[in-house]
Structures are given as structure tokens and as C-alpha cells.
Amino acid sequence: MFNRELSWLSFDRRVLELAEDDSVPLLERVRFLSIVSSNLDEFFEIRVAGIMQQEESASHPATKEFLASVLQRTRDLVHAQQLCWRQKLLPALSAHGIEVLAREQLGDSARTELSPRFDRDILPALTPLAIDPSHPFPVLTNKGLYLLALLRDPASGELRRAVVPVPRILPRILGLSDCKSFTFLSQVIQLFIHRLFPGLELQGSWAFRITRNSDLYVDEEEAVNLLEAIEDEIRNLRKGAPVRLEIEADVPEGEMQWLLNSIHLTSDNAFRIPGPVNMLRLGSLIDMVGRPDLLYPNFVSVIPPECSEPTKLYERIAEHDIILHHPYESFSPVVDFIRQAAKDETVVAIKLTLYRTSGDSPVVEALKEAARNGKQVTALVELRARFDELNNIEWARQLEEAGAHVVYGLAGLKTHCKACLVVRQEKDGLRRYAHLGTGNYNPKTARIYTDFSLLTCDEEITADVGLLFNVLTGNLAGRSSSTSSSRPSTWQDASWNSLKPRRLTPKPASPRRSSPRSTASWTLRLSTPFTKHLRRGVRIELVVRGICASNPVSPARVIISAFAASLVASSNTADCSA
């Protein structure tokens, strides 16, 4: 097995390789570079934070050594990311007439243009925070952008320090009037930051950001109200322990040490950045540039003929099951499935699991409409969907206000399945229709993630979906399902059984292969039967999106860690005869 943290970093290195690849459209390379930063943010918030907690609570030297190894690997990755930006992407952008200017590259004309913009659009939003005995060091927001200013009082010669928070509402990249030149907000603030401190001499200023432990720790057995407990924990996250400092590379060592001491972090977790401190914000440059010729060709999902008329969608499902392969086939039939149910007078009940969705979710709006129309609506909202906790709490409250029944799943487990059950009153009685998917009910991500959707009214499948909802909403043990399995209670056993050696023993005239697909690392329990099959001559191909802890160990075992324009998010297993 590969180490999970090191595999995560290896995956991020592969994302960076796409940013380095000259065959990838230029602005897509910029996007991939920003994704590396997004991934690293989560890596520190969750994985490094966990290792640091283990290191603090354990005396075993291996934990400390492993943390040092992870930080060094991360440092190497960040160094390669910055080199890619400076040596590859900046020259390539310039060759296409797009200039991203550092502070020292902003000439007199640019400064003349930016000066009134700073006074009008930026200065009023800035609040300098002095640091002295009467002004203690402030609590800094997780991943917020800040400037550390070193100042000198000309009368006394005393050195002073201040921290300037940069409001999140301000755009991080600014365009100049020539429509081809851009610069970072932090660079502009640093040009004119002295205007915040009249009467003091500016000795220097440096952009920085702090990453904090962002893992939620909620004792579900002790919590009286899970929603309120998670809300309280989210409020405490702004005070989570710092796990990383990113700061501009030219900061003097003494100033960096002062900052590290103030946030109680060691220099091992400090990263000097010789470029943009937060490359995640480079993603906004893509829209500002307006150069579709530097992007992947525009892709339009197709709508299958049987789904072309939303008002007749249930008639088509009654005729035969419909399988959709996203993003090649549109996600709109799934939205139509829920929208039509909200309007259909024959619909009695709608049940749906909600893990992640878009900010303007048509799915949630359809559920609210259905509840207002008097239908029994039950929504299982997963409050512990990482980094979407607040969004889901808001959706839960909106649904409750509309009259829906909202539940939060099973204690100790995340509800990650994507299922919707619609019950209609038809001529022959009540009939159930279901949607089962591998991806979230999010029309936006459905345009970039590869997933499957099944629309069906098969009696066995819909009965199992009904049972699933009864288990989730009633916290029941329930009987076993006949057509499906759910994680973690039965899925691993089902996967184990599907890979039994007697099913995958190759015949001389008919070699066999197994092609499972997964969204993350495979467990040791599933790796064990794979190894047995390899010894029997079975070729195994794993397609894994994201980190993979499974070691190939054999030429007959092929692992494809997929990352491209469309992300593999579906999970399935194919037992194929060649």
C-alpha cells in the first residue's frame, strides 16, 4: 500500500504536470496551476493538521520524521509550481499578448492609473490593525489574505508593526485600461500602503496567508442537536490551530520569525513564496482575459431523445430504464425528473439525499416548490460534507421553512449516496420512480465530472431505494437489499464477492480482466483479493480519480490515476471477458 499523504502529493504533482504540458491550452494550464493550490489548501487543513495533532500527542519519533518528510515533499511541489508560473506560464501568456505584472513591473503610466482606483475602490475597505501592548495580535481568518507592514516613527525612531486584512469581497486580480495587462490586488495595495499610515515611514510590506486546522470535531453521541453542534464547531474553525504560513519570499528572517511566534507555528511550516502567495486566485484571470481560443473547445452535452420533452419524462421511464453518462449526456433530465415531480398532481411524495449542490440549486428550489404544493418532501441533508457544511445548513433551513421534512442521516456515518425516490398515484395504484447517481445533485459540476445516472421504475430497484430511505430517516437496521449495496455496511462485502477467484480464473481461450473504477484510494481489504487474482494471471485495471493507496506490484496490474478536462467521479466495477 502507498502512504495516503504521499499519494495525495503525488497526485498534485500530476496536476502540476498538466500545467507544465505545452500541449494543454494555455489558460487551462493556468487553471490546473490554481487547482494545485486549492488541493494543497485542503491537504494542510485536513491531512497535515491531523499529522500535527498525532505528532503533538505521541512521543514516537516516526511521527515527527514523517511530518518532516511530508512538509519537504510539499516544499518541493510548491517550488516546482512557482517555477512553472515564472518560467513557463508567464512567458507563454506574454507571447499571447497577456501581461501579468509584478509590482516592480508596474511603470509610471500604470501607477498613475492605479492611484485613483486605489483611493476610490480599495482604500475605504482597508482597516490597518496595529500590533503593540494595547493592540494584541488579532485572530487571522483561515486562508485570508493579509499584509504585514513594518513602520518607523521618524520622531522616536521606534519600529512598529501592523497587519492589514484584505477583504475577500475585493477582486484579487485587477485589469489595466489597455485590456491586456493585469496585476494582483496585493501588489497594488503594497504600492500605496503608505497612505494608510500618514506620519510613519514604511520600511517594508509583505503579503501572507495562514492555513488553519479545518477538520470538524463533533461528538455526535453527545450532541443534542447535530445542526447546532456543527454550527458551533464551524464558528470555532476560525480559531483552529495554524498549520501553514505562506509569505512573500523577500520578507526578512526576523519579521517572519516574529510572525511565526505570534501565531505559535514553527519555521518548518513556513513557506517563502517567490511569486503570488495564493495561486488559487489565478482562476479569475481566465474569465477576465476573454480568450476562448486559449481554452479547451466548448463542449455541449447532448440530451437523449427520450429525455427531450420534460413533461413526458415519466412516461419514457415507465417504458424503459434510462442511463445517462455525464458530462457527455446532459444532467438536465435529472433536474427535470425532480422539477416535474414538484409540479405533477399525481406525485404523492419525493425523497432525496443531498450531499453537495450548487449555490443556486434548481434541485433545492424544486423540492421547496413541491413542499409548498402539498407533497410529502423528505430531504436527507448531509451536514458533514467537508467545506460545504454552512451551505448545507442553509439549504436544510430553507427546506424546513418550505414545509419539507429534513433529516441528517445516521450518527457516525456520512450519507454520500445520491438517490431520489418519487411516488406517484397512477391508475393501478402507487408506483415508485427513482434516480440513482454517482455524482452530486449539482448541475455545474455535472458539466465537468464523469458520472452515471439511472432513471428507473423497476420494482426491485425502487423497493430497495425505498428501503434505503427508511433506514436513513428511521435509523433502522432494515433487511438486506436485493439489487443494491451501500457503503460501508455491505459494499465492501459485495465488491469482495464480485472478485471471487472462481469468477476471475482465466481460461486459455478467454483471458479475463477486471476494471474497477473508484474516486479515491482503495482499501487494503480490496487490495488483498486483487493480489490473489494477479497470481492466477488475471489482468486488473484500476481507474482511480484522486489519491490511490494501492500499489501495482505486478505488470498485470495497471493503475490509471485519472485527471483531465473531465474528472472521473463514478465508481463501478466491470468484469470483462477479452
Residue 207 CB neighbour total at 10 angstroms: 24
* Known active-site residue 416: yes
d(CA 321, CA 433): 10
Residue 465 sits at φ, ψ, to 5 deg, of: -65, -40
Rounded distance, CA 163 to CA 126, Å?
10
- For residue 401, the tally of other CB atoms under 10 A from its CB is 11
Task: Indicate the pairing of strand 181-184 with strand 173-175.
Answer: antiparallel
Q: Grid coordinates in use for 84?
A: 512553472
Query: Distance (Å, rounded) from C-alpha 13 to C-alpha 153?
Result: 46
CA distance 150 to 55: 34
Quick one: 357 exposed, middle or buried, by C-beta within 10 A (0-12, 13-18, 19+)?
Answer: buried
Q: Which string of b and e fits 530-550 if b means at least 16 CB within 10 Å?
A: beebbeeebbbbbbbbbbbbb
CA dist 189 and 198 (Å) reads 15
383: its cell numbers? 451536514
Residues 6 or more apart from 162 whose CB is under 8 A from it? 128, 129, 130, 131, 148, 149, 151, 196, 197
Whole-number Å distance between alpha carbons of 338 and 437: 13
> Of 79, 194, 405, 416, which residue is the catalytic one?
416
Strands (E), 342-400: 347-354, 376-381
**Using CA atoms, how far apart are residues 370 and 83, in angstroms rounded to an integer?**
53
Element (H, E) at 204: strand 201-212
* Cα–Cα distance for residue pair 475/321, rounded to 1 Å: 30
Asked, as a colleague might, if the bond just before 242 is cis with ω within 30 of 0, I would say no
Query: Which residue type, as a one-letter code, is found at position 6?
Result: L
Segment (H or E) for 470: helix 459-474
Residue 76's H or E segment, with its range, is helix 61-83
In 1-154 the beta strands, taken as DSSP E runs, fall at 99-101, 129-131, 145-152
How, if at all, do strands 181-184 and 99-101 pair?
Answer: parallel
Backbone CA torsion sign across 157, 162, 166, 167: negative
Cα separation, 396 vs 381, whole angstroms:
6
Distance CA 329, CA 436 (A): 15
Question: Helix %, strand %, coil % for the chain, to 5?
Answer: 45, 25, 35
In angstroms, the CA 360 to CA 366 distance is 11
Q: Residue 284 CA to chain centroid, in angstroms?
A: 17
Question: Which residues are annotated as catalytic?
Answer: 416
